[in-house]
C-alpha cells in the first residue's frame, strides 16, 4: 500500500510529499522545496536509508531549494524533467535569483520520460508530461494518487507568466489530466489536496 504524507516548506509554502511503500518501507520524496529542521527531522525519523529517490515535478526554486542538502543527507539519486536541465544552472529560469544568495547547486542523475514507467525502489510511478506552468512540468501517478505539481491546483491551475510558461499548453495539460478515466486523489504543489471528480465539476479551467 502507498502512504502519502507531506510537509509545507519554504517562504512560498510548497508541499513536499513523502510517498512510502508500507510493505518495503521504500520512500520517494517529491519536491524538496526547502531544507529546514522539519524536513531533516522527518527524513531522520523515517530512516535516511529508506529514501530511494528524490523526484521533481518541475525545477522552480520553490520546489528544488532543498535538493542539494537532501541528497547529501540521504545519498539518494534525483529524477528531474529533462526539458528543464538548464533550470538547474540558470537562476533566471529557476527563479533562484529571487532567493538572496541563491541556492546550492545539484545534479539530476536521471531524466523522467512520459510513457516510460518510473521505478524507484519498490515504487512504480506513471509519468505524464504536462507543460504549461513550465516547459518540463510533469505529473506523477501512483495507485489512485496524482502528484500534480504546479499544473493543477484545488479550483485553479498554475501561473504561466514565468519563463517557458504557456497558457494554451497548461489548458491542454489540465484537460488531459481531467480526461484520465476514473477519480484521482490530487496532491498539488501548493494548497490543499482535492479530487479529480471535484475539479471536473468546479475548476473554472475545466469548464
Binding site for Zn ion (CB under 5 A): 60, 150
By beta-carbon proximity to Zn ion, the closer residue of 20 and 60 is 60
DSSP state string for 102-155: -------SEE--TTS-EEETTEEEEEEE--SSSTT-EEEEETTEEEEETTEETT
Write out the three cell numbers for 164.
517557458
Using alpha carbons only, what angle is made at residue 155 by residues 151 and 158, rounded to the nearest 5 degrees?
A: 25
By beta-carbon proximity to Zn ion, the closer residue of 21 and 150 is 150
- Which residue, judged by CB position, is nearest to Zn ion in the bound state? 60
Binning the chain into helix, strand and coil, the percentages to the nearest 5 are 30, 30, 40
Answer for the pair 2, 21: CB distance below 8 angstroms, yes or no: yes
Say whether 126 sits in a helix, a strand or coil.
Answer: strand
In the bound complex, what is the minimum distance in angstroms from residue 7's beta carbon to Zn ion?
17
By beta-carbon proximity to Zn ion, the closer residue of 53 and 188 is 188
In the bound complex, what is the minimum distance in angstroms from residue 155's beta carbon to Zn ion?
17
Answer for the pair 129, 169: CB distance below 8 angstroms, yes or no: no
By beta-carbon proximity to Zn ion, the closer residue of 50 and 138 is 138
Write out the three cell numbers for 49.
536509508
In the bound complex, what is the minimum distance in angstroms from residue 28's beta carbon to Zn ion?
19
In the bound complex, what is the minimum distance in angstroms from residue 109's beta carbon to Zn ion?
22
DSSP state string for 86-105: GGGT-HHHH-GGGSTT----
What is the Cα–Cα distance from 143 to 141, expressed in whole angstroms?
A: 7
In the bound complex, what is the minimum distance in angstroms from residue 89's beta carbon to Zn ion?
17
In the bound complex, what is the minimum distance in angstroms from residue 96's beta carbon to Zn ion?
12
By beta-carbon proximity to Zn ion, the closer residue of 122 and 166 is 166
Amino acid at each position: 500500500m502507498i502512504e502519502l504524507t507531506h510537509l509545507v516548506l519554504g517562504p512560498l509554502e510548497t508541499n513536499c510529499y513523502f510517498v512510502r511503500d508500507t510493505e518495503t518501507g521504500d520512500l520517494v520524496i517529491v519536491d524538496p522545496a526547502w531544507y529546514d529542521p522539519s524536513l531533516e527531522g522527518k527524513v531522520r525519523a523515517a530512516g535516511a536509508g529508506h529514501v530511494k529517490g528524490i523526484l521533481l515535478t518541475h525545477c522552480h526554486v520553490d520546489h528544488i531549494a532543498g535538493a542539494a542538502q537532501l541528497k547529501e543527507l540521504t545519498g539518494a539519486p534525483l529524477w528531474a524533467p529533462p526539458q528543464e536541465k538548464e533550470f538547474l544552472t540558470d537562476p533566471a529560469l529557476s527563479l533562484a535569483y529571487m532567493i538572496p544568495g541563491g541556492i546550492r547547486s545539484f545534479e539530476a542523475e536521471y531524466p523522467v520520460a512520459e510513457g516510460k514507467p518510473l521505478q524507484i525502489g519498490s515504487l512504480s510511478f506513471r509519468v505524464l508530461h504536462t507543460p504549461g506552468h513550465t516547459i518540463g512540468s510533469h505529473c506523477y501517478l501512483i495507485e489512485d494518487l496524482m502528484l500534480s505539481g504546479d499544473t493543477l491546483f484545488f479550483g485553479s491551475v498554475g501561473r504561466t507568466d514565468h519563463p517557458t510558461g504557456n497558457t494554451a499548453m497548461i489548458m491542454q495539460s489540465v484537460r488531459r489530466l481531467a480526461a484520465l478515466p476514473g477519480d484521482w486523489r490530487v496532491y498539488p504543489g501548493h494548497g490543499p489536496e482535492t479530487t479529480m471528480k471535484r475539479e471536473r465539476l468546479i475548476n473554472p479551467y475545466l469548464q
